[in-house]
Amino acid sequence: QIRDAIAQRFNAGPLHGVRVVLTAGPTREAIDPVRYISNRSSGKMGYALAAALQALGANVTLLSGPTNLSTPAGVLRVDLESAEQLLEESLRAVAGAQMFVGAAAVADYRVDMPADEKIKKADATMSLTLSRNPDVIAAVRQRDAKLFVVGFAAETEKLAEHARAKLERKKLDMIAANWVGHGRAFDRDDNALSIFWNGGERELPQASKSELARQLASLIAERFLAARN
């Protein structure tokens, strides 16, 4: 109805001309020049979503941690490694953007003092002191209260509760949540998502990540246009 009307009006797609910044993939936090801490994100969901939003007419800038994926056609990609780099690039990229989608699996902690040379193994045990990384999506929201901000949550328990809490705490416009761990979601080609926003939710059942991305992109466009009007 609203969606159809708008799609008709904009033959080029409902997000025609909308500037979207999307983060994807894991980040890496250096321990030394060789070792790092990372996570099991493959970046597939984020890349598929970048392609799907681009297909709806958006101008997508993809801020990507290390992945082995090809850049979707028509998408501008910026490569980075750490959460601090991601924060810096995000704040730079959202100037003039209307939407931010935080699909990257940002490391929550970084190593306090990465070594300049490879640490030689010496002792039977070793202790790493980690510090909280900046909260990229919260910083982006704080920078621009009018931006339409979509977050992700990867949970191993209490999915809806954790996701709704994150939606409110970070003042997001939408959040897409999925189960992880024990072979679910990461490093796989399919997934399922629960989407929450203020006053609504939708379940996107198990499907390929590209199919899920198309459904999620539609829903994002719908909520974005509703929020705008």
List interacting residues with its own copies (CB under 8 A). 31-40, 68, 105, 107-109, 112, 117-118, 121, 123-132, 154-157, 180-182, 186
229/209 Cα distance (integer angstroms): 30
| Distance of alpha carbon 213 from alpha carbon 46, whole angstroms | 8
Nearest distance in Å: CB 194, its own copies:
16
Give buried/exposed letters for 128-157 (b at 16+ CB in 10 A, else e): eeeeebebbbbebbeebeebbbbbbbbbee
Q: Output the smallest distance, CB 172 to its own copies, in A.
A: 17
How far is 142 from 144, CA to CA, in rounded Å?
A: 6
Give 33 or 200: the residue with its C-beta nearer to its own copies: 33
Which residue in 11, 39, 68, 178 is the catalytic one? 39
Is 39 assigned a catalytic role? yes
Return the sign of the alpha-carbon dihedral for residues 191, 139, 148, 78. negative
Give the nearer residue to its own copies in terms of CB position, either 89 or 155. 155
Cβ closest to its own copies, residue 27 vs residue 61: 27
CB of 145 to its own copies, least distance (A): 24
Catalytic site positions? 39
